[in-house]
């Protein structure tokens, strides 16, 4: 079924990205908290809430669901959530983003529950630097988790590597070598991003991806473009695919965005980098499926590209 959720800019919504919790056992210096910077309510989506919202979204053409956090594996009922979502007619893929700390012991159960694949955050193989970035001495556990996920068939396993000025810029090739040897399918290079490009944190962490992209272009056997956010994918000679996620000041990225977000307290969020335009969906659950669909339609109507052709970037303190 083709998505009938199409925003005013002609972009179809095909994926629902759901934050199932704000809780996390890490304190990463670059965390964007899934954009949950609104006045948060003391409420966390239940498995039943999530099931009903996804069911309504699937009836409107949403085909993929990604579960995020915080750290989603901290939810004691995460397997129940996955079972419910993966069994909904029309949902073709349920994936999960994790820091990997609990992945080794849970990979098998996640697969059995219906999880399709995982993205694991890993920006360095240096244990000292890893602890400085995340606040946790967990590198060995994460590497074991990645390898266990590959063994259990949560494929394609993807590594999320955040490219940070002066911190992780030099980590790419060692991570690429590890990913290939571990059987990881995709290494995703993620540009540091946030809604305030004039902020001190942006100045501190953002690094230009151009030098790395030139290296990739020089050695890759092919270059493809993923439909989602027009992300370029480089095919290395060893078979590893490198996906470049470059959202900042990139109208092409926004033009290809097909995601709608659901916060852990039940607000539909049109854009990661915007804090306005949120639509309360939890308040409509008691009203039935049509009310949920109305909330989805309203949220999609509020979607607009954060970076647009001819538009100027937001100033400090603005949301776009």
pLDDT digits (tens, 9 = 90+) for 179-191: 999 999 999 999 9
What integer pLDDT is reported at residue 285 of this predicted model?
94
pLDDT at 316 over 80: no
pLDDT at 313 over 50: no
Residue 34 vs residue 118, higher pLDDT = 118
Spatial CA neighbour of 18 closest among 52, 61, 54: 54
Q: pLDDT tens for residues 159-177? A: 999 999 999 999 999 999 9
- Helices of type H across the chain: 47-59, 78-86, 103-113, 127-134, 139-152, 172-182, 200-205, 210-219, 251-255, 289-301
By CB atoms closer than 10 A (0-12, 13-18, 19+), residue 315 is: exposed
Q: Are 15 and 63 spatial neighbours (Cβ–Cβ below 8 Å)?
A: yes
pLDDT at 320 over 50: no
pLDDT at 278 over 90: yes
| pTM exceeding the 0.85 threshold for the entire prediction | yes
What integer pLDDT is reported at residue 156 of this predicted model?
96
**DSSP helix/strand/coil, 3:** coil
Q: pLDDT tens for residues 179-231? A: 999 999 999 999 999 888 888 999 999 999 999 999 999 999 999 998 888 89
Please report, rounded to a whole number, the percentage of residues in the chain having pLDDT higher than 90: 84
What integer pLDDT is reported at residue 10 of this predicted model?
95
Please report, rounded to a whole number, the percentage of residues in the chain having pLDDT higher than 70: 96
Summarize the confidence of residues 118-130 as an average pLDDT.
Answer: 97
Spatial CA neighbour of 22 closest among 44, 47, 53, 46: 44
**Nearest-10 Cα torsion for 292, 293, 295, 298:** 180
Residue 320 vs residue 97, higher pLDDT = 97
Q: Are 115 and 80 spatial neighbours (Cβ–Cβ below 8 Å)?
A: no
Summarize the confidence of residues 49-55 as an average pLDDT.
Answer: 98
pLDDT at 138 over 50: yes
pLDDT at 265 over 90: yes
Residue 30 vs residue 160, higher pLDDT = 160
Other Cβ atoms less than 10 A from the Cβ of 309: the count is 9
pLDDT at 86 over 80: yes
Q: Are 191 and 245 spatial neighbours (Cβ–Cβ below 8 Å)?
A: yes
pLDDT at 15 over 90: yes
What integer pLDDT is reported at residue 310 of this predicted model?
59
Place of tokens 């039935």: 288
Range of lowest pLDDT (33-37, 43-47, 120-124, 196-200): 33-37
What integer pLDDT is reported at residue 319 of this predicted model?
36
Planar angle of CA 308, 311, 316, nearest 5 degrees: 110
pLDDT at 261 over 80: yes
């Amino acid at each position: 079924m083709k998505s009938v959720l199409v925003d005013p800019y002609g972009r179809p919504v095909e994926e629902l990205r759901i934050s199932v919790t704000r809780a996390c056992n890490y304190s990463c210096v670059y965390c964007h908290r899934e954009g949950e910077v609104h006045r948060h309510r003391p409420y966390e989506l239940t498995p039943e809430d999530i099931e009903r919202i996804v069911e309504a979204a699937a009836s409107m053409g949403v085909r993929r669901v990604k579960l995020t956090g915080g750290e989603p594996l901290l939810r004691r009922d995460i397997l129940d959530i996955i079972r419910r979502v993966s069994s909904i007619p029309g949902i073709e893929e349920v994936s999960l983003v994790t820091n990997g700390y609990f992945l080794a012991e849970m990979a098998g159960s996640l697969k059995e529950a219906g999880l399709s694949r995982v993205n694991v955050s890993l920006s360095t193989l240096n244990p000292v630097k890893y602890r400085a970035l995340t606040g946790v001495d967990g590198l060995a556990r994460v590497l074991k988790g990645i390898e266990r996920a590959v063994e259990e068939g949560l494929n394609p396993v993807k590594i999320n590597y955040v490219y940070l000025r002066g911190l992780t810029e030099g980590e790419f090739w060692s991570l690429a070598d590890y990913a290939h040897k571990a059987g990881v399918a995709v290494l995703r290079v993620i540009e540091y991003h946030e809604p305030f490009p004039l902020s001190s944190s942006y100045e501190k962490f953002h690094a230009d991806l151009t030098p790395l992209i030139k290296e990739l272009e020089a050695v890759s056997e092919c270059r493809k473009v993923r439909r989602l956010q027009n992300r370029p994918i480089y095919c290395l000679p060893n078979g590893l695919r490198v996906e470049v996620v470059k959202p900042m000041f990139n109208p092409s990225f926004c033009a290809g965005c097909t995601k709608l977000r659901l916060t852990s307290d039940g607000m539909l969020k049109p854009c990661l980098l915007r804090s306005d335009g949120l639509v309360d969906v939890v308040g409509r659950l008691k009203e039935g499926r049509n009310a949920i669909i109305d909330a989805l339609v309203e949220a999609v109507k509020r979607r607009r590209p954060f970076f647009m052709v001819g538009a100027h970037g937001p100033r400090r303190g603005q949301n776009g």
